[in-house]
Amino acid sequence: MISYLKGSLEVKNIDYIVIDVGGIGYKVYMSSNSINRLGEIGSSVKVYTYMRVREDDISLYGFCTSEELRMFEQLLGVSGIGAKSALTILANISPSSFALAIISGDINTLKNLPGIGAKSAQRMILELKDKMKTQDGIQSEEVVNINSGYVNNDKTKDAIEALQVLGYSRRDIEVVLSKIDVKDDQVEEIIRKSLKYLGM
């Protein structure tokens, strides 16, 4: 599995780039937003990758941040959403806004995404919340001692749930929250601050 690629940006197209790593050119599919955030041709770039292997195809998908990669992986787990649809969604909503829409059941935000109707939005919310509950059930069996230095209120609870939607474990989230000051922040800001540390 290729975790990330670091090399020279050789080609920028509408939906893919080519990165030269040690004389080998890797074609990497990316969202238009991510491609636009990369530097100019010839600049050094680091792209997080997801390798999809099928009988007739092996493709690399790229992301500017590890949060985008996690969101992409979570989206692929939703029935009816393929790699191209997941990239289109990523081009139109940030991981923090997406996670917040899932945990708050915000169907309107999700159905405004290209290719997502009301039924798809409902399915996305149900499947990702179910997955999160399953992960919570597994983790609750572990005894974890964490110095909970964060304020345990509705905003932090919502932020924890949203970060779990992106695939982070409750334990890792609580460790990060105990280290940062979030008491005066709104939910989305708590998510953004946490992602800076969780993505490391």
Give the DSSP letter string of 11-22. EE-SSEEEEEET
CA 101 from centre of chain: 13
Find, among 70, 77, 69, the residue nearest to 46 by Cα: 69
β-bridge mates for residue 20, sequence order? 8, 25
Please tell me the predicted confidence (pLDDT) of residue 141. Answer: 42
Please tell me the predicted confidence (pLDDT) of residue 22. Answer: 94
Residue 86 pLDDT grade (very low, low, confident, very high; cuts 50, 70, 90): very high
pTM: 0.73
Residue 13 pLDDT grade (very low, low, confident, very high; cuts 50, 70, 90): very high
Find, among 54, 45, 70, the residue nearest to 128 by Cα: 70
CA 84 from centre of chain: 15
Domains of the chain and CATH, by start: 4-63 (2.40.50.140), 66-130 (1.10.150.20)
Q: What is the pLDDT of residues 43-77, one digit of tens each?
A: 999 999 999 988 888 999 999 988 899 899 989 98
Whether the CB-CB separation of 78 and 47 falls below 8 Å is answered with no
∠ CA(121), CA(125), CA(127), 5° rounding? Answer: 115
Please tell me the predicted confidence (pLDDT) of residue 132. Answer: 65
Please report, for residues 93, 99, 103, 175, 181, the alpha-carbon distance to residue 151 in angstroms, rounded to integers and kept in the order given.
28, 21, 20, 13, 9
